[in-house]
Amino acid sequence: MDVLSCPKCQNTTVVKSGIIKDRQRYLCKKCNYYFTVNKLGKKIDDYYVTKALQLYLEGLSYREIERIIGVSHVSISNWVKEFKIKKPPHPNYHPTYKIFKHAELVEFLKNKDQLSGAGMIITELGDKFMLIKWERFKD
């Protein structure tokens, strides 16, 4: 038999505490936390968490990040709060971004006129690439 442990404090001193929605409920004797063991949750890969936080720091909104990565804007907001991320103040600029396949990105980077006068970051998003661009000297 598997030894149960509290998901909050990892203590193994737990007791049964009723049944809720056909699932056994447990109580941790150390921290008084109630939990069930067969609750299935959806875990998002840390790669997407990191990418979402990077895009947030680049100035993209929660909804824009949601459309790009495919993760709920509420989840992104919760990650920002959880990791205590503070966006630097930049009210006068908003970066533009484009999603490219590899061949499209190579063609874009060949044109020198598109590279001058702006700051850029290229980040990988699965099998595509995202180019974030903002004007370098914007008044």
Same-domain status, 22 and 56 = no
* Residue 74: domain span: 42-89
Tell me how many domains the chain contains.
Answer: 3
Same-domain status, 95 and 134 = yes
Same-domain status, 111 and 132 = yes
Of 4-13, 55-64, 91-100, the poorest mean pLDDT is in: 91-100
Same-domain status, 36 and 54 = no
pLDDT for position 38: 64
pLDDT for position 14: 93
Alpha helices by DSSP H, listed for 16-101, are 46-57, 62-69, 73-82
Q: How far is residue 94 from each of residues 72, 130, 133, 135, 136, measured CA to CA in Å?
A: 21, 15, 9, 9, 12
What is the mean predicted confidence (pLDDT) over 5-19?
A: 90
pLDDT for position 120: 83
Same-domain status, 84 and 96 = no
Same-domain status, 110 and 85 = no
Same-domain status, 32 and 51 = no
pLDDT bracket for residue 139 (50, 70, 90) = very low
